[in-house]
Amino acid sequence: MLNGKTVLLGVSGGIAAYKSAALASALMKQRANVHVIMTPNAVNFINPITFETLTGNKCLIDTFDRNFQHSVEHVAIAKQADVMMIAPATADVMGKLAHGIADDMLTTTALACRCRKIVAPAMNTAMYENPIVRDNMRTLKQYGFEVIPPAAGRLACGDTGAGKMPEPEVLMEYIEREIAFAKDMRGKRVLVTAGPTQEAMDPVRFITNHSSGKMGYALARIAMLKGAEVTLVSGKTNLMPPPFVKVIHVTSAQEMFDAVTGEFPDQDIVIKAAAVADYRPRHVSDEKMKKKGDSLFVEMERTEDILKYLGEHKKPYQFLCGFSMETENVIGNSRDKLAKKHLDMIVANNLREPGAGFEANTNVVTLITQDEEISLDLMSKEEVAVHILDRIMSNP
């Protein structure tokens, strides 16, 4: 997702600098063009050769280094940048930036950058909680910097508290949110449902399905990266919720109905990717059911049809997208569902298609509207999510 994007990674003098090497490596794996700028103090914690080996670019330290191409280096690099992240950001560096002091390559380049700038504070807890440092962070925010909240835990100095630099995976999420996609969904409120529901039989047993939630989570994440304000209503899964997304956890179909209908009036786009149970046991035992005989009869009743309710109550400005997983007559059955549920689009796939289905990381789908059918090739669920959202945004 970062292919061809230019990322400036500033590294200042803190023990957390070693994590920045892992971040640089992760950025390179996404084919970003990474330039690292270090403060003179940072080289006491990690060797510049590490970053040069990882990125293939010279690590910049000295503002007056004569060993470079004939250009004003900090200005040239600043012009190329799509985003700049300073990680770790020490109290010293943040204080300089908050007051416009540019006395080394890192601070000079940061002040010359017009792109989004993100800082990840890392320091002793007492320093982090110092009113001067907190005031400097507030000043940076006022000037358009994004300040990532530090993690809490045992610090290198032996103290325990806030001040740890977040892990590289967390830092990557901030960078991806900023530059992975054009923000064509900014201002849109998007509700996505994902995962299975569980319908209790007794305190021990429940009826469910094989949904992993991967497709819904991919949709929520890509919508967030495209700038939308996203709410994810999720049944129980083994997935980590996407960052920067409001998550509502539910268990049963009724809980999902209540959550979705409660959020629905404020949404511009609703994508129902969850596999909701059509039936639930009519009677739920308060105690564990014991074995009796060779068979068990469970009387079932219909659950609330969430998609039908949404279709009947949606406003003209709202876009409603459903999913249809079939084992036969995929297009015909999906078109019937499109009409009966008053949907704007339905995403159809065949459970028997290689690469499709619940647990896979890939999918093969057809996007169906009243006027067209778009068949997509086998691709990752995140790639499918991009196509779905692009088609929704192209709706007049």
Helix orientation angle between 105-112 and 73-80, rounded to the nearest 10 degrees? 50
Question: Has 5 been labeled as part of a binding site?
Answer: no
Instruction: Count Cα atoms within 13 angstroms, Cβ side, for 69.
Output: 7
Question: Has 290 been labeled as part of a binding site?
Answer: no
Q: What is the pLDDT of residues 190-200, one digit of tens each?
A: 999 999 999 99
Least confident stretch, 73-82, 119-128, 180-189, 287-296: 73-82
By the 10 Å C-beta count (0-12 exposed, 13-18 middle, 19+ buried), 98 is classed as buried
Which phi-psi region, left, alpha or beta, contains residue 161 (left: φ > 0; alpha: ψ -120 to 50)? left
Q: Which of 140, 173, 150, 111 is nearest to 16 (CA)?
A: 150
Q: How far apart are CA 127 and CA 339, in angstroms?
A: 61
Residue 133: pLDDT band by 50, 70, 90 thresholds?
Answer: very high
Which phi-psi region, left, alpha or beta, contains residue 329 (left: φ > 0; alpha: ψ -120 to 50)? left
By the 10 Å C-beta count (0-12 exposed, 13-18 middle, 19+ buried), 66 is classed as exposed
Residue 159 has a pLDDT of 74
Residue 67 has a pLDDT of 56
Contact 48, 6 (CB under 8 A): no
Question: Has 278 been labeled as part of a binding site?
Answer: yes
The pair of three-digit structure tokens given for residue 266, joined into one six-digit string: 């404020």
Q: What is the pLDDT of residues 254-266, one digit of tens each?
A: 999 999 999 999 9
Instruction: Locate all alpha helices (DSSP H) within the chain, ordered by sequence.
Output: 17-29, 48-55, 73-80, 91-98, 105-112, 125-129, 131-142, 168-179, 214-225, 253-263, 306-313, 330-340, 381-393
Contact 253, 304 (CB under 8 A): yes
- 216 has a pLDDT exceeding 90: yes
Active site residue 59: no
Q: How far apart are CA 298 and CA 148, in angstroms?
A: 52
Residue 393 has a pLDDT of 97
Percent of the chain with pLDDT over 70: 97
Find how far residue 176's CA is from the centre of its chain. Answer: 8
Q: How far apart are CA 32 and CA 35, in angstroms?
A: 10
How much is the mean pLDDT over the chain?
Answer: 93
**Other residues' Cβ atoms within 10 Å of the Cβ of residue 282:** 10
Q: What is the pLDDT of residues 361-390, one digit of tens each?
A: 999 999 999 999 999 999 999 999 999 999
Q: How far apart are CA 390 and CA 182, in angstroms?
A: 11
Q: What is the mean pLDDT of residues 293-303?
A: 91
Instruction: Report pTM.
Output: 0.92
Which of 59, 113, 115, 157 is catalytic? The answer is 157
Least confident stretch, 127-141, 241-255, 345-359: 345-359
Instruction: Locate all alpha helices (DSSP H) within 56-142, ordered by sequence.
Output: 73-80, 91-98, 105-112, 125-129, 131-142
Contact 79, 68 (CB under 8 A): no
Q: How far apart are CA 191 and CA 73, in angstroms?
A: 45
Q: What is the pLDDT of residues 301-311, one digit of tens each?
A: 999 999 999 99
Residue 70 has a pLDDT of 41
Percent of the chain with pLDDT over 90: 85
Question: Has 315 been labeled as part of a binding site?
Answer: no
Question: Has 214 been labeled as part of a binding site?
Answer: no
Residue 174 has a pLDDT of 98
